[in-house]
Chain A
Amino acid sequence: METVLKIVIGILGVVAVWQAIRVFEISAKIKGSDTDQDVNDKDNKTQGFLLALFVVGLIGSFFWMVSAYAPMELPKSASVHGEDIDNLWDISMGLIIIVFLITQPLLFGFGYWFRGKKGRKAVFLEHDNKLEFIWTVVPALVLAVLIIYGLTTWSEVMNPSKDGEEPMVVEIYSKQFGWTARYAGADNTLGYANVQKIEGANVLGVDSTDKFSADDVVVTELHLPVGKPVLLKFRSQDVIHSAYLPHFRVQMNCVPGTPTHFQFVPSVTTADMRLDEHVITKTNNINEIRKAKGDDPYEFDYLLLCNKICGSAHYNMQLKVVVETQEEYDNWMKDQRAFATLTK
C-alpha cells in the first residue's frame, strides 16, 4: 500500500514538473525573446539572497549538530596514549572548524555582496603577489605545527618506550566471522602457530610441540588488567580483518600471512567507565530507544569490532573487552584452561 502510494506520488511529481514546464514554455513563447534564459538582475538578487541564506543555515545546522550529536560520541579515552591522540584531535578539529567558519561565510558572502547588477563593472584584478604569498605561507606554517605535533604523537604511540614494564602479550586471532584471544601465559611468550596446524579443538593452529605453547590460554573474551601495558599481536586465518577498539583509540589490520601488533595501556576499568557522566547519558539515551523498540536494556562495555570488509557477517564481528583491576583479572585468569589441558 505504502509503495503504491509512493509510486503514485512519484508519478504525480513528474507530471507536476512536466506541467510546470508547459506553463514555462507557453509564457516564454508569449514573451518570445531569445534572451530569456539569460540571467537578469532579478535572478541575481534571488540567487544571491539564497546563497546568503544557505550559509546561515549551514553554520546554524553545524552548531546544532555539534550540540545535538555530542551525546552520541565516544567517551573519553580509556587508554594512556589515547589521551594524546584526543588532544591532537581537539587541536586539529578546532583549527579546521575555525577555517571552515571563516571561509564558508566569505565564499557565500561574496556570492551575495557581489551579485551582478546591470551597469556595474567588476574590478580587474589578475593577481597580487603579496596576497598569494600570505596564503601560501600562513597555511604552510600552520601545517608545520600540525605535522610536527602529529608526527611526535604518532611516533610515541607506535614506538612505546622499551624501558618501562614489560608488556603482557596477547594474540588476537580473526577469521570469518569471529575473534579469539590467546594469552601467552606465565612465560609471556606465545607458542608457534600456523593455519596448517588447525585441527579439531585447536582452532588457532597452535603447535603443541612448541614448549612455549603449553601455558597459552585461549579465550573468547578479552580481559585486561588496568594500568598494565599490553602488546596485542594480530593474526588472521582467511581474509584481512581489522581490530578496532574505538574506546582505546586502537586499530590495527589483521593480515593473513603477515603478523601485526599494537601496544597500549588501558587506563580506565569497565566499572569506572560505566560511571562516567558521558557514558551514563549515552547509555540512558540508548536504553530509551531500546525500550521503545521492546529490546533488552543495554549496559556499557568495551568492544573490539571488525573494521575491514571481510564478508557477509562483517557487520557483526565483535569481541567483548573487559578492563579490570589486577585482582579481578587474576581471578578470572585462574578459571581459564591452559592450552596443554585443552588438547589432552
Chain B
Amino acid sequence: MAAEDSHEDGHHHHEETFISKYVFSLDHKMISKQFLVTGMIMGIIGVSMSLLFRLQLAWPEKEWPIFEALLGKWGVDGVMSPEMYLALVTIHGTIMVFFVLTAGLSGTFSNLLIPLQIGARDMASGFINMLSYWFFFASSVVMIMSLFVESGPASAGWTIYPPLSALPQAMPGSGMGMTLWLVSMSLFIVSSLLGALNYIVTVLNLRTKGMSMTRLPLTIWAFFVTAILGVLSFPVLFSAALLLIFDRSFGTSFYLSDIMVSGELLSNAGGSPILFQHLFWFLGHPEVYIILLPALGITSEVISTNARKPIFGYRAMVGSILAIAFLSFIVWGHHMFITGMNPFLGSVFTFTTLLIAIPSAVKAFNYITTLWKGNLRLTPAMLFSIGLVSTFITGGLTGLILGDSALDINVHDTYFVVAHFHIVMGLSAIFGMFAGVYHWFPKMYGRRMFKGLGYAHFWLTFVCAYGVFFPMHFMGMAGLPRRYYTNTSFPMFDDLADINVLISVFAIVGGIAQLIFLFNFFYSAVRGQKSTRNPWRSNTMEWTTPVEHIHGNWPGEIPEVHRWAYDYSKPGADDDFISQIEPLKEGEVETGH
C-alpha cells in the first residue's frame, strides 16, 4: 500500500502551512471538520428560515418587524409576501435535505470514520477528497448568493417541478433564483460524486489486515452503501437538471407542452412535466436513504457501545441495509400516484414500497433487542440514538399509509406528508447526526463536550421535535394542503389556528435550544476537558489512534484486526469491551462470524 509507505512514523513533523493544514487540507480528519462546520452553518440558516415561516403560519395577521428587517421588500410593513413564503420553504427544504443531511452528515462522518475504522492512513485520494469539500463549499456559496437576487430565490419547492420552475413568467423565483439553484445543485452533485467514489474505493481497497467485510462496523457498512446509492442516483438528478436548464435557456421542450402563462402563448410542444418527476424521484427516493442510512449506521455503533452489548443480529442488520438500498431504487413512483400514472404501475410501486417496511422493521426490532438486558450508559449520544429509533418507528409507520396508493389519494401533499417525512427522515437523521457529534467529538477535537448541556439539549430538542411534527398529522387528516402561505383563505381550516400556534411555539423553543448545542460545541472544542484515548471504552479502531491528530492516523504500523467490532461484555473476558485489534485468547471462539 502506497499510502502506508509514505506515512511512516514522524511524518507529522513535516512542515505545513496554515493554508495546507486548515484550508486546502488533504487530511480526512480536517476535511471532516470542514464538512461539519459548513453543514452547521447551513443548518442554522435552514432552521432559521423555518422559524420565519412558522411565525407567518401561526400568526398570519400579525406584523413582524423582523420580516421587514430580514426580507426587505418581501416583508414590507412586517408582512411576509406569499412569494417569499414559498422561497423560504423551498430553500429551507433544499438546505436541510442536501446541505445539512447529505453533505453535512455523510461528509462529516464518512470522512472521519471510514479511514479510522477500517484502519487506513487516509482516503484513497486525499486530493479528490479536498475537491469534494470545495465543490460543496462553492455550492453552498452559490445557494446563499441566490437569496439575494433581485427577483428572489428559487420558490418552486425543493422538488422544483417544471413547468413552474421552468418559466420565469409563472413565478419570480423561477428567474435568476432558479438558475442559481441549478448551478448550486450541479456543483453539489459533483461534490457528492467525488466524495462517494472516494468512500467506495477506500472501503474496498484500504482495509487493514484482518478487516474483512464481515468484520466492518455497521457505520462503515452504512456509509459504504450510502455512497453506492449516491453514485447511482445523483447522476440521474443531474440529467434532470440538465434537461431543465435546456428548457429554461435554450428553447427545448423536454418538460413543456401546450402552455399559456401570464397571457403569453408558448410554442413548446410534445414535452412532459411528468418525465421530470420520474427523473427527480429516481434520485429523490434513494436520497432519503442517503440521508437516513448513515444516521442508522451511527446509531448502531452508539447503541451497541453504550449498551455494552453486541449489536443484535449483525448479519440481519447488514442484510437489511442492503435490502433497503436495493428496494429504494424501485419505489420512486410512490411520489407520483396521483399524477395520472397508469393505475397498474401505481400498484407495482405500492407493492415495492410496502416491502421496505420489512427490513425497516427488522432494524427497529434489532435496536430494541440490543437495549434488552444491556447495561445502558445514557450519554447524550445514546439518548439521541434512542430518540432516533423512536422517530424512525413513528415516521416509518405513517409510511405504510402514504405508500398505499389508495390512501395516498386522501393525504398526498397535505401536512400529513410534512409530518411523515420530517419525523422519519428529518428528525431521525438530525438525531443521528447529533449522536455522532456527541460520540465522536473527543475523536475530532480531543476534548469532551459537557454532558449536562448535552442532556438539556437532548430533552428540549426531543420534546419540541415531537411537539412540532406530531400534531401536523392531524392537520393533514383535516385536509390541509402543504405549501400554503396561510390557511386563512379557507374557513374550513379556521379551527386549525390553535394547532398552528402550538406547533410554532414548540418550533421556536426547539430552535432556541440549538444555541445550547452550538455553545457546547464551540466552547468545548477550545476549552473542553481533555479526552483520554478511548473515553467510551469502545471496540472500534478509531479509539486506538492517539488523541492528538497525526497524519496517517497511527504512529508506526497500522494494527491488525482480529475480531468483529461488537465484543462487548463477552463472557470470559477481563473487561466489558475488547478492541478489534486484540488477538483472540487461547481457546476463545470468534463471535459474529
How far, in whole Å, are A282 and B492 apart by their CA atoms in the complex? Answer: 9
Chain A nearest CB, measured from B347 CB (Å): 5
A271 contacts across to B, CB distance below 8 A: none
A-B contact count (CB 8 A): 388
- Chain B residues near A57: list those with CB within 8 A: 463
Answer yes or no: A92 CB below 8 A from chain B CBs.
Answer: yes
Given contacts A107-B393, A126-B566, contact A198 B260 (CB under 8 A): yes
* Interface assignment of B149: CB less than 8 Å from any CB of chain A: no
Contact B499 A43 (CB under 8 A): no
- B512 pairs with A303, CB closer than 8 A: no
> Smallest Cβ distance from A293 to chain B, in angstroms?
8
Q: Mark A110-153, 1 if CB is under 8 A from B, else 0.
A: 11001111001111111110011001100110010011001101
- Stretch from B119-127, B128-136, B402-410 that touches the partner: B402-410
Interface of A is mostly: helix
B516 part of interface (Cβ distance < 8 Å): yes
Asked whether A114 and B164 contact (CB < 8 A) given A17-B519, A143-B357, the answer is: no
Taking a contact as CB atoms under 8 Å apart, the answer to whether A257 and B256 are in contact is yes
- Residues of chain A with a CB closer than 8 A to B512's CB: 10, 13
* Interface pair A39/B354, CB less than 8 Å apart: no
A107 vs B313: C-alpha distance in the bound complex, in angstroms?
Answer: 17
Q: How far is the CA of A34 from the CA of B448 in the complex (A)?
A: 10
CB neighbours of B366 from chain A (8 A): 132
Does A244 lie within 8 Å of B374, measured CB to CB? no
Does B515 touch A at the CB level, under 8 Å?
yes
A74 in contact with B386 given A39-B378, A124-B310 (CB within 8 Å):
no
Report whether B412 and A251 are in contact in the complex, using a CB–CB cutoff of 8 Å. Answer: yes
Residues on B lying within 8 angstroms of A by beta carbon are 64-66, 81-83, 86, 156-157, 161, 163-164, 167, 170-171, 256-262, 265, 269-274, 307-310, 312-316, 338-340, 343, 346-347, 350-351, 354-355, 357-358, 361-362, 364-369, 371-379, 383, 386, 389-390, 393-394, 397-398, 400-401, 404-407, 409-410, 412-414, 448-453, 455, 459, 462-463, 466, 470-471, 474, 477-479, 481, 483-487, 489-492, 494-497, 499, 512, 515-516, 519, 523, 527-530, 532, 535, 566, 568-571, 576, 591-592
- Chain A: residues with Cβ within 8 Å of the partner, total of 129
B13 CB to nearest A CB, Å: 28
| A286 CB contact (under 8 Å) in B86, B364, B492 | B492
A211 contacts the other chain (CB 8 A): no
Q: Is A147 touching B485 in the complex (CB atoms < 8 A)?
A: no
Give A286 to B378 CA distance when docked, in angstroms.
46
Structural contact, A100 and B397, CB atoms closer than 8 A: yes
Which one of A154-162, A181-189, A220-228, A334-342 is at the B interface? A154-162
* B397–A147 touching, CB < 8 Å: no
Q: 10 tightest CB-CB pairs across the interface, nearest first? A: A257-B257, A260-B340, A246-B479, A158-B343, A47-B378, A298-B491, A37-B448, A315-B484, A110-B371, A96-B397
B372 partner residues in chain A, CB cutoff 8 A? 110, 114, 123, 125
* Given A73-B478, A124-B570, 7 additional A-B pairs, CB 8 A: A37-B448, A150-B407, A158-B346, A239-B167, A251-B338, A255-B274, A311-B170
20 contacts between A and B (CB under 8 A): A10-B512, A14-B519, A21-B450, A50-B459, A74-B477, A107-B371, A110-B371, A114-B373, A120-B375, A123-B374, A124-B310, A147-B351, A154-B404, A246-B410, A305-B490, A307-B413, A309-B86, A312-B485, A314-B82, A315-B82
